[in-house]
Amino acid sequence: MFKMLIVVNILFVLLGCNQAHVEMNHSDSLIVIDAGHGGHDSGAIGAGKYEKNLVLQIAHKVAKNFKNMGYKVYLTRDDDRFIKLSGRTKIADRQDAKVFISIHANAIADKNRFAQVEGIETYFLQKTRDARSQRIAEKENAAVLKDTDGLSKHVIIDSVLNGPKIIESNKLAIDVQNNIMKSVKKLYSDVRNGGAKPAPFYVLVGASRPSILVEVGYITNPKERARLFTSEYQEQIAKGIVAGVTRYINNRKQEIGF
């Protein structure tokens, strides 16, 4: 399934390259940026540094860069406050966003491996065989499914979890991951590329538009943590995210003949 999606994506990219120049006006595109955690939920902690603070700093830089490109931007949180996970994607749906980007930092529990585990990863929502994730997804979709019978329910759930949104989220994740890597490597050539991966993250379930979760690096890795808390590195991550989303939206506009 994953391989097929990649082939589809490559085809779209190839087709996109042969198309005529596309208007670069992004004023109609609203981007929802979700800084993970906040308030009593500090997220991961590395040497006394909090994920919630790091991702808010990066989210602000991402927002500024999008605005400079003419996009409209909405932040799920603008300061150190807690927002329930289910509320975050509901905000994206209510705001009629083009894409939803959740920003997080990674961590591992094993102290002995802190120095070895590092890198940037981008996740997109993918159907899972895990029963718990299935239940979460079904609960999120309950409102849509209320008035339908059993058979249609399965058809709808299947189309929600396997439909165009998944393919679009996959394409968005690949574009964003590639462009973040390109951007951060201008500062450091040794940043590890963790790739674009499928994942049943709760925060992404229920978002009715292309949705990704960026893990900007490991807060538990001393070298990566030091970089992550500098303004220069945060700026490169932000620029990469904006370049990736822009590439995705431009290709999308070409696909649907805008």
Positions in the binding site for Zn ion (CB under 5 A): 36, 43, 104
Q: Cβ 120 to Zn ion, closest distance in Å?
A: 14
- Between 43 and 240, name the residue whose CB sits nearer to Zn ion: 43
Q: Cβ 101 to Zn ion, closest distance in Å?
A: 13
- Between 144 and 199, name the residue whose CB sits nearer to Zn ion: 199
Q: Cβ 51 to Zn ion, closest distance in Å?
A: 5
The residue number with the shortest CB distance to Zn ion is 104
As a whole number of angstroms, the distance between CA 11 and CA 231 comes to 37
- β pairing state of 45-46 and 99-106: unpaired
Residue burial 160-197, b: 16+ Cβ < 10 Å; e: rest: bbeeebbbbbbbbbbbbbbbbbebbeeeeeebeebebb
As a whole number of angstroms, the distance between CA 171 and CA 181 comes to 16
Q: Cβ 228 to Zn ion, closest distance in Å?
A: 13
- Between 153 and 197, name the residue whose CB sits nearer to Zn ion: 197
Nearest to 23 by CA among 256, 255, 253: 253
- Between 30 and 32, name the residue whose CB sits nearer to Zn ion: 32
